[in-house]
Amino acid sequence: METSRRAVLNLVLPAVAAVSLSRHAQAKGDGVVPWSTGTEAPTIAVPPGATDCHHHIYDGRFPVAPGVAAKPADATATDYKKLQRRLGISRHVVVQPSAYGVDNSCILDAMKQFGRVARGIAVVNTDVTDAELKRLNAAGIRGIRFNFAPAGATTPAMIAPLARRIAGMGWHVQLNADADQIVSLADTLSALPCPLVFDHLAHPPQPAGTSHPVFILVSRLLAAGKTWVKLSAAYADTKVGPPSYADTSAVAKAYVREAPERLVWGSDWPHPSEPADRKPDDAKLLDLLADWVPNKALRHRILVQNPEKLYGFPA
């Protein structure tokens, strides 16, 4: 009997130890994630259902759009899954990057690999057919992006007509543009028949920050109840830099005071605006939420409930 018990323990204990070590490694975030500095997990408590609402996928199997000078390096679905494990992210939103123009094949392929935990934001122009919009909707696309920083496959004149076409599907318009251009589009954006989402804090330049007209405009649109802001890319407009990004952090905190029910968080991985040798630490970017949103219930809302409402994730 004792021999049998010892034999069982000899089999079970190493397995238990292996599981323990695996969990310890996962908790520490051991392992390198492409295009992300550091290996540690975030210190912030990430709730079940936490959602990364802004990241990109680049895959060399898919050709870049005509006129794109530099072919982006791969940042694949497999690579992103490593970031998910490191951060503890459950769900996420794949955003079409400018490199692929209006050919959404890459993100659609990635979304198939990710399954139901992913939604997507496509890029289309006014030539898109109703049949294509329906196909994208069935694949999990929930909005269209206009990226004017830098200018790409779409123009400001396309915003209003495309917004009218997508409104009935429950989609939204997502905008990435510099602050002055956003201000110049105020009338168009205020009249949209669908929700509006601003990338990367809406890019208030520093040191103006919350005193810049773009923050005032976005605050007015938030108060109207149809606009959302992504708490993402703290590095995009900072003059202070890491680890605190104190200047852009002040903008994020101001949005939290204004309309926490209209905010979502995004990693912006693989950080295409940042040089390859200066990629940020994604865990530390996520940890900024502890400073921006000290209230745990509000953090849960921003990471879980708001994305459910905006992207149609199941509660």
- Looking at every residue in the chain, the average pLDDT score rounds to 91
pLDDT at 30: 54
Report, as residue numbers or ranges, the catalytic residues: 268
Least confident of 18-27, 87-96, 175-184, 248-257: 18-27
pLDDT at 21: 30
pLDDT at 302: 98
**Can you identify the CATH homologous superfamily of domain 31-311?**
Metal-dependent hydrolases (3.20.20.140)
The predicted-structure confidence for 16-68, as pLDDT tens digits, reads as follows 333 333 333 344 445 689 999 999 999 999 999 999 999 999 999 999 999 88
Say yes or no to pLDDT of 96 above 60: yes
pLDDT category of residue 69 using cuts at 50, 70 and 90: confident
Q: Which sequence spans correspond to the domains of the chain?
A: 31-311
- Sequence-distant (6+) residues with CB within 8 A of 116 are none
Please, are residues 209 and 234 in contact by the beta-carbon 8 Å criterion?
no
CA distance to 35, 79, 181, 297, per residue, from 69 (Å): 21, 24, 24, 45
Say yes or no to pLDDT of 249 above 70: yes
Strand partners, 118: 92
Q: What angle do CA 288, 305, 228 make, to 5 degrees?
A: 70
pLDDT at 23: 36
Mean pLDDT of 211-220: 98
Rounded distance between C-alpha atoms, residue 60 and residue 146, angstroms: 23
Please state the pTM of the whole predicted model: 0.89
The predicted-structure confidence for 133-180, as pLDDT tens digits, reads as follows 999 999 999 999 999 987 779 999 999 999 999 999 999 999 999 999
Say yes or no to pLDDT of 8 above 80: no
CA distance to 54, 117, 137, 170, per residue, from 131 (Å): 26, 24, 10, 16
